[in-house]
Amino acid sequence: MPVSITVIVPVYRDAAALARTLAATDFSGSNIVVVSTADEDLRATLRLAPADNDIVCVTAPRGRASQMNAGATVARGRWLLFLHADTRLPPGWTDEIAAADRDPHVSAGCFRFALDSHALFARLIELGVRARVALFGLPYGDQALFVRREVFEALQGYADLPIMEDVDLVRRLRRHGRLFQSALPAVTSARRWERDGWVTRTARHVALILLYFLGVPPARLIRLDSGRRAHPVSPSGRMSL
């Protein structure tokens, strides 16, 4: 029997990217849960998706952690794949999860990071990410993390963090099993690097992760991330995508 997979996509004001992802990826054999915020209507976008896509749309408070946890509560699959709206999965992606499923020691996995840009700096960033994953076993959410559902539930899902929720989850997952690293690329839009500047955005990412491992609380880190400062942090510490 094929492995059952639920793809969970948190969305905030990114309907165009979601439409491109749904159109460009073969989701056959899986079901999709799109998690939007209450003030966003994605019905027109979802109507553009291929007719054979099995899609459910739910709402949740804004923030990747809360939205992905909400998606997991309605998931039907034995594996949960958390996909950013601007990331495209490669052909054969379900085969990679099936390979991970056959190894009982694997608790989670990820795809190889790639950017949809021909810029030389994009290749350098990809090499840096590969080195980070190889040396530290630390993929980020833009590598389409996939997790055994029973392990995700045992860990009580994503922590309610405004930033670094993916890093926190991966660190906890590693205590429950091995990380499967697919050689196939999950291709992420380079638009934010092109908007912010390749060096500026990369340097900010490096600074944030170093500060996080030095113990700076995520609620404080979010105020240092100029890409998210435009949206106020709620009393719970949640933040926009």
pLDDT of residue 226: 57
In a domain, 233, yes or no: no
The total of structural domains in the chain comes to 1
In a domain, 147, yes or no: yes
Q: What Cα–Cα distance (Å) separates residue 184 from each residue in 26, 38, 79, 91, 118?
A: 15, 34, 18, 8, 18
pLDDT of residue 194: 94
CATH number at residue 117: 3.90.550.10
Determine contact, residues 19/44, Cβ cutoff 8 Å: no
What is the spatial distance between Cα 235 and Cα 162, in angstroms, rounded to a whole number? 11
pLDDT of residue 106: 96
In a domain, 167, yes or no: yes
pLDDT, mean of each 10-residue run, the chain (241 residues): 89 90 89 90 82 87 94 96 96 96 96 96 96 94 97 96 94 94 96 93 92 92 65 36 34
Amino acid at 220: R
In a domain, 234, yes or no: no
Q: Which two tokens stand for residue 150?
A: 């029973």
In a domain, 235, yes or no: no
In a domain, 241, yes or no: no
In a domain, 162, yes or no: yes
In a domain, 115, yes or no: yes
Beta strands 106-115 and 145-148 are: antiparallel
Q: What angle do CA 88, 89, 93 make, to 5 degrees?
A: 175
pLDDT of residue 223: 80
pLDDT of residue 239: 32
* pTM of full prediction above 0.75: yes
What is the spatial distance between Cα 40 and Cα 20, in angstroms, rounded to a whole number? 18
Range of the domain at 88: 5-224
